[in-house]
Amino acid sequence: MHEHGLGPNSAISRLPEIKLFDKDARTYTFDLYLVDMARVYKEGKEDMRLIGENTVKEMFHTAVGLLSVSLVSMDKTTIYEALFEKSSVTIFIISRDDDCTGRLMETNSSISKNKKNQKAEENVKFMAKLREAFHAVSSKSTDDDDDAYESGTEEASDFGLVFASDISSGSDGEESDEEDKQELSKGTVENKDDDDNDTTEECCDDKTAISSESCSERADDDEDTAKKCSHGYHSFLASCLERKLKVKEVFLDKNAKNLHSNDLLPLLGPENRIAAVCNFRARKVDNKKRVIHITFLSVKKHLRRLGIGTRIIDIIKTPQMSGLYDAMVVHADLNATEFFARNGFSGDPLLNKQWASFANEYVNCLLMTYFPPLSFGSPITSSSKLIQSIDKSIDKWLVDTGNVHQMQYTLCKRLRAEVLRLQNQLLAQDSLVQVLKREVVKQAHIIEELRRRLQKCGGDADASTSDPDTITFTMLPPPLGPDAQLSMCFNGVTLRDCAGDMDVPSFSPP
């Protein structure tokens, strides 16, 4: 593997081809290449080494173009620098030439069939834009020293015209026939391996949210890096626009009806062959955790229904590609969160809090994380580093769990003691209320007995008697009626209502 542990130890590695099928069981074959851009440019072989039929430099510019039309708010300088990062590698998915020519036949056949309708007029306007952009770019590509991308200098002369059919909005794109549109729409619905917006970007504001001090320190180096890796930008863009014009002119020719797909082979360029591109890197978090960071992922719009994006994610997840890692993260575009969620990524904020060191590098996107399985399926022994790591994690988990259990158990025991105390207090209060109730009933009976005795002794005696021991009716409380006697029963009276915490004196009959 490389020093960063991503892929084979080679600047350019060809990976096994992949075969995918659409809803009509049509087979698409793609070639895969893993490229370390920084290493290729360091060796000075960007114009000699090939990725398929094209040079590394051509595919580098093509990848930037495809990413720029997918991530419309991303500045190309940021894309160039990310793909040129020393700790990153880029996967190129390349279509076969027969599929590319077939695509050109499908998207341009309506030009020769309908030369007098509204679509023909739209095609003429589109070709006028192509010619205008081609002349503008060609004038900039004459000076070899200035043939590099500069942020904010381009207008209509953009990759948006080259990849017109892959712009999500479709406002300035090529117009395909209605049947093709319906096929694409159905394919997107029926094949849910990829979203219609199968892209991910780290930043949607063209700028990274890095501190001003670090920006000022790296400004000169970044400018030199961007200029070096984007050299030949205008020349390449001009060649793409020229090929685009020639393809349109071929289908406008009177002999276009007899055109065969093989006749378009000389007009194929890297912009036709590239199907998808993905850039990812390895990062260290707290000098302990190894994290795979997917920086960019973009798939051509008409191929998204095949599940290419999911296949790329599956390749990156393997230890053969990324080595052993603790997590895989992505700054997902807000339109692609469902795609990554289906591929095992989680956007839980608490889960992603551990990546705070680089979580805020980019804005207008959602940080999502995928955690690999404990074992990648390879035979392991008890002495392997993986098992040792698992054992350490288990021990740490046991300690943390024990601390939590201790706190929870202590709290439960204290709650139990509090409940027991309240129960005893309630029983004591209830007992006191019952004692007081019996005492009141007892006193009531004594009063009734005294009243009866008084009546027997002559309650109608002269009120003017001077005997102080004589008891009169006015000295006794009124007799208790039946309702009053029944109300003496306990009816939910508490200690606080009866006597509070005060001592209640005992009563005895006279």
Q: What is the pLDDT of residues 378-423, one digit of tens each?
A: 445 555 677 777 778 888 888 888 888 899 999 999 999 999 999 9
- pLDDT tens, 150-164? 665 554 347 888 887
Calculate mean pLDDT across residues 181-201: 37
Provide, rounded to the nearest whole percent, the portion of the chain with pLDDT above 90: 24
Identify the pLDDT of residue 483: 55
Task: With cut-offs at 50, 70 and 90, classify the pLDDT of residue 125.
Answer: confident
Return d(Cα 84, Cα 64) in angstroms, integer: 11
Strands (E), 103-232: 199-200
Is the predicted pLDDT of residue 345 greater than 50, yes or no? yes
- Greater confidence (365 vs 166) lies with 365
CB neighbour burial string for 387-419, b if at least 16 within 10 angstroms, e if fewer:
eeeeeeeeeeeeeeeeeeeeeeeeeeeeeeeee
Q: How is residue 284 annotated by DSSP?
A: E
3-state SS, residue 353: helix
Mean pLDDT of the chain: 75
Residue 269 has which token pair? 């360029």
Identify the pLDDT of residue 124: 76
Task: With cut-offs at 50, 70 and 90, classify the pLDDT of residue 250.
Answer: confident
3-state SS, residue 472: coil
Q: How is residue 171 annotated by DSSP?
A: S
Chain-centroid distance, C-alpha 184: 26
Q: Lowest mean pLDDT: which of 63-77, 108-122, 215-229, 248-262?
A: 215-229
Q: How is residue 505 annotated by DSSP?
A: P
Calculate mean pLDDT across residues 362-372: 87
Q: Lowest mean pLDDT: which of 98-107, 232-241, 442-451, 480-489?
A: 480-489
Identify the pLDDT of residue 199: 45
Q: Is 279 exposed, middle or buried (0-12, 13-18, 19+ CB in 10 A)?
A: buried
Identify the pLDDT of residue 297: 92
Q: How do beta strands 365-370 and 54-55 pair?
A: unpaired
Identify the pLDDT of residue 144: 57
Q: Lowest mean pLDDT: which of 186-195, 196-205, 237-246?
A: 186-195
Find residue 370's DSSP bridge partners: 328
Calculate mean pLDDT across residues 279-294: 89
Identify the pLDDT of residue 171: 31
Question: Are 55 and 48 a contacting pair, CB within 8 Å?
Answer: yes
Return d(Cα 1, Cα 130) in angstroms, integer: 43
Q: Is 97 exposed, middle or buried (0-12, 13-18, 19+ CB in 10 A)?
A: middle
Identify the pLDDT of residue 481: 58
Identify the pLDDT of residue 192: 40
Question: Are 207 and 73 a contacting pair, CB within 8 Å?
Answer: no
- Greater confidence (500 vs 87) lies with 87
Q: Is 208 exposed, middle or buried (0-12, 13-18, 19+ CB in 10 A)?
A: middle
Return d(Cα 430, Cα 242) in angstroms, integer: 99
Task: With cut-offs at 50, 70 and 90, classify the pLDDT of residue 314.
Answer: very high
Identify the pLDDT of residue 169: 39
Identify the pLDDT of residue 143: 62
Provide, rounded to the nearest whole percent, the portion of the chain with pLDDT above 70: 69
- Greater confidence (43 vs 369) lies with 369
Q: Is 500 left (phi over 0), alpha (psi -120 to 50) or beta?
A: left
Alpha carbon of 193 to those of 73, 169, 344, 372, 463: distances in Å?
25, 21, 12, 20, 110
Q: Which residue has the tokens 């670090």?
A: 214
Calculate mean pLDDT across residues 328-349: 90
Q: What are phi and psi of 115, to 5 degrees?
A: -85, -10
Task: With cut-offs at 50, 70 and 90, classify the pLDDT of residue 498.
Answer: very low
Q: How is residue 143 annotated by DSSP?
A: -
- Greater confidence (329 vs 494) lies with 329
Is the predicted pLDDT of residue 176 greater than 60, yes or no? no
- Alpha-carbon Rg of the chain, whole angstroms? 43
Identify the pLDDT of residue 3: 61
- pLDDT tens, 52-106? 888 888 999 999 989 888 887 778 888 888 888 888 899 999 999 999 998 888 8
3-state SS, residue 369: strand
